[in-house]
Amino acid sequence: MSDIVVPGFKSSELIDALNRAFENFTPEEKAKLIKQVNGVFQFVIKNDEGKEEIFTVDVKKEGKVTRGKGSAKADAILSLKDNDFVDLATGKLNGQKAYMSGKLKIKGQIMLAMKLDNVFKSINPTAKL
C-alpha cells in the first residue's frame, strides 16, 4: 500500500491510481500531458467522518502526486467531499454541475480546473469534467 492511500478515503485510492499511471508513463507521454494541462492541483477532500486530507497533483513540472500540500504552489485548489471526488474522477459527476451546485469549490484558476478531465483520463479514459 502506498503512502497516498488513506483509510476512510475512497478518493485516495483513485489518486494513488493516478500516481501509478504517471509513474508508468513514458517520458514522452508525461511531457505531452504536462504540456496539455500545465497546472498544479490541490485537492482538499473531506470524508463522511468530517476528516480532511490534502493531495497535490503536479501536472506542471514533475507529473506526480503527493499526499499533503507538496512542494509546488497550487494553481487551483479544489475542495469537495470524498464521494463527490470519486464520482467526478470516474465520470459519474459532471465537473461544471458539481461546481454550480456547490459540491465542488475552486480557488485559483477556475479555467485550469476544466483541464482536469485530461488528468482523470489517465486513470479512466471515459472520465468527463
**What does the pLDDT profile of the chain (129 residues) look like in tens digits?**
578 999 999 999 999 999 999 999 999 999 999 999 999 999 999 999 999 999 999 999 989 999 999 888 999 999 999 999 999 888 888 888 899 999 999 999 999 988 887 788 776 654 444
Tell me, what's the pLDDT at 106? 95
1 within a domain of the structure (yes/no): no
71 within a domain of the structure (yes/no): yes
Tell me, what's the pLDDT at 56? 96
45: β partners: 53, 80
81 within a domain of the structure (yes/no): yes
Q: Which of 49, 66, 48 has its CA nearest to residue 57?
A: 66
126 within a domain of the structure (yes/no): no
Tell me, what's the pLDDT at 127? 45
- Quote the CA–CA distance of 124 and 87 in Å, as a whole number: 12
Structural domain tally of the chain? 1
Structural domain boundaries enclosing 47 = 10-120
